[in-house]
Structure 1
């Protein structure tokens, strides 16, 4: 893959840009394998799962700069001034086409861009997510609610520009710090979720819900977990850090010879509400509740699934798993270093299967899933 913005030095986000993709996958496989060498034998590794090297991102996070009359949508330069970069070779084609129409329509609203050096203005970011079926969610990150009315009045013009625009919201981030969004979200449309259909399950993304940015590889990850669950056929599954229910719902529909009880725990209430909606639509026995997965002491299920943030699950949860001794654990990690630490804290388990999922081509970021069995 080649990118004119990378070659011109305008954007360096893709640290592996220009390296043949096959080489990237080989290097990433060796890197992750080396980090996990103490816990994962060579024969446990399956073939890496890869998708397209370009056109895979379902989400665009555009920093807004410039002026009201000439806003920029893209990134910030070294002096923290806006640089127009609305197009990116990593965006899914439908998302890129939608941005071509949406960005000019947003510019027409007359919002005041936030100036980082001067700490003045309102519109900080425009975050746009696209679904496999062509629907869109657009989020405006503002410093204050002062321009919410302007966005509300402009909804019709935005939808005329992009007919697939389903959800529009405003996130309020009043603080000046390196945090993309704040705690308050105002949904301006009748619809408050973006349906994301992966294989035979439709997930419902609310504005603050986390979802993998690579739809193709995310589907492959869930497919792999479903295959493991079908082979193990546990009577009960506990999905920790369950988000909108990716692993839990796939566990619930996985084939088996007897009924299966599935429970999910997630700290974000919006994600739990979305998971419950998907479970109801599927008609599966999956219960979801709000809670701090990392602080759970009772994890007494036959199979425990964990999909934590980069920091991993930590010593307390590792200890809880060791004490409860579920027969199997599926661990999906976006950080092989923290995964290695956690696996060392689970001495009662052996990794029997492992697979790399290249969720982030052109970078060294990765996703790896491992299946653990009680010794």
Structure 2
């Protein structure tokens, strides 16, 4: 049975009341050069010591995972006090933690106001699997793309997330999972069985990451830094709906694995399902994929294809998909449509999905059918939406009725 934990303390609620600005700059999300500059400009560290102090801080933040300067024990007490006076390394507020009956976890994070703005909320999902654990990270509050099958797309864009806010989703998840080495398990952490940890991350949560390129780039380069979080770039995947100019930059400047939210094999249908296609049609998108830096059989592009009943799931669609991707080292993830209240689509029948997959496999492409995870807590692909857009009780009941009736069953 799925369950939820309300983790919001009264004191935190009061501290984050609307209109209250964040007072201290965060060191999380800064490059080494930016961190050194911040320390020197604050008058805390002389320039000759900046590189050494940054190295110490980097280790505490990203290897040990501390969120309190007081725990940085190889730094003098006076320096720790000065750091705490000028800077923050805190995590976002965890408003709610939901745990699916399949082990998937979804966190609702609340970030403090930026400038004259208000607190904002986003969702992050952890998917435990045998031998790996994948964290699905958000890049924006809301989304501008309005993909017709996606629940997140019904929430208007509020703002981009900062590099700090992107990274602290990862840090917070590792806190909750007891996933930082060389320190005691944090109080209240949920330690997964059989050593499940965050081994992979995907920029596939709320928002279009390539419409927030600079912050996403900075966060992913820090996440893959060998002296910190040290995630291999081959274990980091960035998913885009097709922002073609930034696809080239992703390969050249970030170098992570690429996933394309495709879902259709012709422009007319893709214009409907993924409206950004009107700006960057399939011909341009496929060209960018073929020219993606580092592309090889060992570094394939993943194409995400949501299975919509009597929309894009015919054998002719499968043939067209093979033709479209010809010459591109690729894997095709077939995603059973995840229902949400108000959606106008149904999931393809399981037999039809298998026929579709068989044809793709016979053509030489790996085409795994993604097992739906976290549907009961609206954590599955295309279902994320922040607390400010929380479902009404009637909508939740409608969703449950849909599931019981078999719509979207896999």
TM over 0.5: no
Point out the structure with the larger strand share: 1
TM-score (norm 1): 0.31
Point out the structure with the larger helix share: 2
TM-score (norm 2): 0.29
